Structure formats: C-alpha cells, structure tokens
C-alpha cells in the first residue's frame, strides 16, 4: 500500500534545487557549526570592524536551531555569480569604477530568496509534514562551514568557498528542513596547497594570513559596509584602485577561478533571475558625482548596491577618480579630464553629506599635489 505522505526523497529535492538554477547542492546534519570558535576569536579581535550585527548575533550562529526550531538537516546550495568568464571585470585603464562580480546583475538576495521560496512551496506540496526555511547571508548561519560539510568545496586561503569545477564565484544559500536526510560526504581536501596568490595580490593587506581576513582593510568592506567617511589612512585610500563597489582581486588571481567552468551570458541554461537587471560591470564615477539623487536611486533599484547607498557610491567615486587621474597623468598631459574631475570635486565640497564632502576635500588635495596635471 502506498503511504499517504511519502517520505522526503533526497535526490528529488536535490534535482529540484538544480532545476531552479543552483549549480551545487548538498546536505549535512544540523549540528553545531564547527568553526564557531574561530568566529568568536575573529570577533574578539575586532576584525569585523563596524559590522556590529556579526557580534550581536554571534550566539545565533552557533547552531541552525536558532533559525528553525526542530531543524534536522541543512541543505547548502551554491549560485553561480560569475556571469560568464570575463577576467578582471573591466580594464584598469578605463575611466570607469569597477563593480564586484556578485553585484553585476540584480540583487542576489532577492534572486536567491525567490528560488528558495519556490523550493519551499514545492517541498510543501510533496511532503506536507516537512517544515523548511530558506536563508541567504542576511541570516545568522555560518554558510561556508555547512557548505564544506555538505560537500560543496573547501574554504580557500582567500576565506571563500572554492568548488573544484566552479571556483569561488559562488553565492551560498541555506535550506533548513525538519526532516533528516542522508548526509553528503564532507569535503575534506584542501586544494590551495602552497599557493599564496590571493594573499600576495591583496593591495591593502586585508588577508593577514591564510583564511584570515581583517575586514577593516578589505576593499569590499570599505566600499560597502563602512558608513560615513572612510578611515583617514592615506595608504588604504590610495590602494583601493578603481573599485567602486566590492572587489574581486583575491578571486581573479586564484588559479581555480582561472580554469573554472562558467555559464555564458548567452546560454539558454543561465537562470532567468540573473537577467532581470542589465549586467553592469562598471559605472562612470564622474557621472556619479554629477547625477541627481533620483538618477542614483534609479541606478540602485533592484541591485545589491543599497548597502552602500547614494552616500557610499558618491564617496567611493571620489577615491576611484583620484586613482584614475593619477593613472591618466602620463596619457593626458594637458589634464583636461582631470580638470573636469577637480571641478566636480569642488562642487562636492558643499555636499551636505560629510562622507562625500570629506572625500572631496581629500581628493582635491591629492590632485593638486600632482603638479601640472590640474589647476593649482
């Protein structure tokens, strides 16, 4: 006799998740996070910077029980955020501010949550007694910990999960269930070996050791998480390059990313949520200084850029422009474009946002110190 409510089928759930666009899917028991002790040490050292929510919710990260009462299994799923293989994501020789690859398309929080809701609805139809909860990185779950245990890959020296075929340009999502599933084999190998490419390439020295990130010096943290004026450390400001939002340097240099398989932007297999916003790899920083608030809000809409907001984007644009003007000095001896930049910065001195006006004041001082490139 066929049971009225069949037991949850691991392979059917996995197949459904893959159908919804996730490229890697694995399951592990819902037990305490193995790296919770490391998290506590990292927080106690202050390496989380201004991300106070990390400290406030530290205990919630100890066990997925905090997210779903009675949880028995944690499914971990990976979403390919590479958008095809475009090494570098834009030339450093342009007059553009680069965007971290994860933010080229629509807001991944929305895209992943939508797919997780579809998966939850499907599970409810198949197995009505099973309770589920889908989460992305806004929830207190140590995703990389559970992803490794679910067999998705290993944590590289750049602190990111690396899959042998897909590399590290992956966004992780968790799907918690009240039912127990046979676990996947944990990923126990470390394929970084003696390679230190990511540590050597980080311009600000944020990777203070293998798998140890001091967020306070990380370009992604500085351009996204830091509110108000950036730290007045000239060495950090000048090393940010033309990164307007996020940073991919430690991933771009990783050998595993250089040989990773990618889904082409023209592929019919590319999940449609990835295409709900035009792909933007870079933005003109001079335009950001001149644009109206409405124009910037239109740019932000539906993208994972709200974390930085208008204030952060304008502030970051100043640092990008200073970097680009310094690079352009040998190619633009008359300094015409640099003069446009300086004029835009002078207007920003009157900006009511202290983060923007302080950056503009610093930027003008930097440009005038070049001598001959811009007006004194």
Predicted confidence (pLDDT) per residue in 253-272, tens digit: 999 998 887 665 555 555 55
Domain count, the chain: 2
36 and 132 co-located in one domain: yes
Average pLDDT in the chain: 90
348 and 258 co-located in one domain: yes
Inter-residue contact 98 to 244 (CB < 8 Å): yes
Binned at pLDDT 50, 70 and 90, residue 332 comes out as low
Tokens of 199: 């540590």
Asked whether the predicted pLDDT for residue 376 surpasses 50, the reply is no
Coil vs helix vs strand at 361: helix
Q: Which residues contact 45 (CB under 8 A, 6 or more apart)?
A: none
How much is the pLDDT for 234?
A: 84
How much is the pLDDT for 3?
A: 47
Binned at pLDDT 50, 70 and 90, residue 233 comes out as confident
Asked whether the predicted pLDDT for residue 274 surpasses 90, the reply is no
Q: Which residues contact 349 (CB under 8 A, 6 or more apart)?
A: 357, 360, 361, 364
Does 246 map to a domain?
yes
- Rg, C-alpha atoms of the chain: 22
The backbone region for 83, taken as left when phi is positive above 0, alpha when psi lies in -120 to 50, beta otherwise, is: left
How much is the pLDDT for 260?
A: 84
108 and 224 co-located in one domain: no
Does 3 map to a domain?
no
CA distances, 289 to each of 78, 293, 312, 317 (Å) = 36, 10, 11, 7
**What is the mean pLDDT of the segment spanning 275-303?**
91
Q: Over pLDDT 90: what percentage of the chain?
A: 78
Per-residue pLDDT reduced to its tens digit, 155-208? 999 999 999 999 999 999 999 999 999 999 999 999 999 999 999 999 999 999
Tokens of 212: 């140890």
164 and 203 co-located in one domain: no
The domain in which residue 303 lies consists of 197-368
Pick 219 or 260 by higher pLDDT: 219
How much is the pLDDT for 89?
A: 47
Is residue 137 annotated as a catalytic residue, yes or no? yes
141 and 248 co-located in one domain: no
**What is the mean pLDDT of the segment spanning 322-340?**
78
Does 94 map to a domain?
no
Strand partners, 245: 99
216 and 157 co-located in one domain: no
How much is the pLDDT for 273?
A: 54
Task: Exactly one of 44, 107, 137, 184 is catalytic; name it.
Answer: 137
Does 1 map to a domain?
no
Per-residue pLDDT reduced to its tens digit, 66-92? 999 999 999 999 999 887 545 444 445
CA distances, 315 to each of 206, 226, 273, 311, 343 (Å) = 21, 11, 30, 6, 15
Q: Over pLDDT 70: what percentage of the chain?
A: 89
Binned at pLDDT 50, 70 and 90, residue 355 comes out as very high
**What is the mean pLDDT of the segment spanning 325-352?**
84
213 and 321 co-located in one domain: yes
């Amino acid at each position: 006799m066929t049971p009225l409510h069949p037991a949850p089928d691991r392979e059917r759930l996995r197949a459904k998740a893959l159908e919804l666009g996730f490229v890697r899917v694995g399951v592990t028991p819902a037990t305490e996070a193995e790296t919770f002790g490391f998290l506590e040490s990292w927080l106690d050292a202050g390496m989380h910077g201004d991300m106070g929510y990390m400290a406030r919710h530290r205990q919630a990260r100890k066990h997925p029980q905090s997210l779903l009462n009675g949880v028995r299994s944690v499914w971990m799923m990976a979403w390919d955020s590479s958008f095809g293989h475009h090494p570098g994501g834009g030339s450093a020789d342009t007059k553009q501010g680069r965007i971290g690859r994860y933010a080229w398309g629509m807001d991944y929080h929305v895209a992943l949550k939508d797919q997780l809701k579809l998966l939850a609805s499907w599970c409810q139809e198949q197995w009505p007694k099973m309770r589920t909860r889908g989460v992305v990185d806004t929830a207190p779950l140590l995703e990389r910990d559970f992803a490794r245990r679910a067999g998705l890959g290993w944590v590289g020296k750049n602190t990111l999960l690396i899959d042998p075929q897909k590399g590290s340009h992956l966004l992780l999502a968790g799907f918690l269930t009240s039912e127990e599933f046979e676990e996947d084999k944990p990923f126990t190998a470390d394929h970084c070996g003696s390679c230190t490419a990511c540590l050597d390439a980080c311009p600000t020295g944020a990777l203070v050791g293998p798998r140890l990130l001091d967020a306070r010096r990380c370009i992604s943290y500085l351009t996204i998480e830091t509110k108000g004026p950036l730290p007045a450390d000239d060495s950090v400001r000048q090393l940010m390059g033309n990164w307007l939002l996020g940073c991919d340097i430690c991933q771009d240099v990783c050998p595993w990313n250089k040989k990773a398989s990618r889904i082409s932007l023209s592929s019919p297999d590319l999940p449609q949520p990835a295409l709900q916003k035009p792909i933007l790899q870079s933005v003109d920083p001079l335009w950001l200084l001149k644009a109206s608030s409405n124009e910037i809000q239109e740019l932000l809409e539906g993208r994972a850029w709200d974390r930085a907001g208008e204030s952060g984007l304008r502030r970051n644009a100043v640092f990008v422009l200073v970097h680009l003007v310094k690079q352009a000095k040998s190619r633009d001896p008359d300094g015409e474009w640099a003069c446009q930049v300086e004029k835009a910065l002078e207007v920003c001195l009157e900006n009511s946002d202290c983060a923007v006006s302080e950056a503009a004041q610093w930027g003008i001082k930097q440009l005038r110190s070049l001598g001959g490139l811009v007006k004194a």
